[in-house]
Amino acid sequence: MFEADILLEDIREILSAVPFTLFMALVTFVFSTIIGSLFALAEYRNIPILRELIFVYKVAFKGIPLVIVIFLGYYGLPPTIQFLASLIGINFNGHHTPNWVLLVIGVTACIAAFQAEVIKGALNSFDNGQADAARSLGYTNGQLFRRVMFPQVVIAAIPDLTNSIMVIMKALSLGFAIEVVDIFAQSQLTAALNFYYLEAFVIAVVIYMIIAFLVTTAADRLERSLRVWT
């Protein structure tokens, strides 16, 4: 059933999609984490109006199926971008926005809602007595955050934050719907040429598993090396 030379060729082709998939995942991870952190901080500090807006945002993006968000982005973002560019006097044809950018924006928008919950949980797990102690000693809020809260909160959040790298990897495979070629889409395309569907998907599965293994191990190591105090 498995023919070695076809298999090797398939592996080579599917592997070629790995760097770009990882690149998109990384960009998505970075932006969704930044946005999620800002949301979580706004909620933690209980800033009126922002707090309500973020709540609505989270309900929306946790509730709407990702594939719909991706299509909304695909059809809605180019004209929006064009319009916004025209407002600041730039003549940009929004339809020249690469599809992968639209995909990354859509996935980022969804994952940010989840990252916000992760960071919020880590913030809530912070023992506030330490904040009392710091304030009583004259720390400003900024000093308290930098010296005491941030180091503890980041480490508390690492396992769940890195979890979302894998969620992002999987979410990106929906990019197939708007012709973005990631690992999954490449295995699909490869199989369509030689009809070795099972083989192509098994290869994709193995690649995803290897990435999951590497990401999880790296996260564990990172957490352990940073968590010098437990």
Partner 1 sequence: MLELKNIKLSYGNTQVLNGVDLSVNRGDVVSIIGPSGTGKTTLLKCINYLVKPSSGTIAFDQLHMDYAQADKKAIQAIRLRTAMVFQQFNVFKNMTVLQNVMDPLVVVQRKSQDEAREIALRELDRVGLSAKRDSYPSQLSGGQLQRTGIARALAVRPDVMLFDEPTSSLDPELVSEVLKVIKDVTSSGITSLLVTHEMQFAKNISNRIVFMDQGVVAADGSPAEIFDAPANPRLAQFLQTELAFH
Chain residues in the site for partner 1 (CB under 8 A): 127, 129-130, 132-139, 143, 147-148, 151-152, 228-230
Taking the complex as a whole, how short is the minimal distance between the CB of residue 225 and partner 1, in angstroms?
14
Q: Is 146 or 221 the residue whose CB approaches partner 1 more closely?
A: 146
| Total number of residues shown for the chain | 230
Q: Is 195 or 229 the residue whose CB approaches partner 1 more closely?
A: 229
Taking the complex as a whole, how short is the minimal distance between the CB of residue 29 and partner 1, in angstroms?
24
Torsion (CA) 188, 162, 159, 38 in degrees, nearest 10: -130
Taking the complex as a whole, how short is the minimal distance between the CB of residue 136 and partner 1, in angstroms?
4
Residue with tokens 């991870």: 29
Distance CA 104, CA 101 (A): 5
Distance CA 184, CA 190 (A): 10
CB 151 within 8 A of CB 230: no
Taking the complex as a whole, how short is the minimal distance between the CB of residue 156 and partner 1, in angstroms?
11
Distance CA 230, CA 228 (A): 6
Q: Is 46 or 230 the residue whose CB approaches partner 1 more closely?
A: 230
Q: Is 125 or 217 the residue whose CB approaches partner 1 more closely?
A: 125
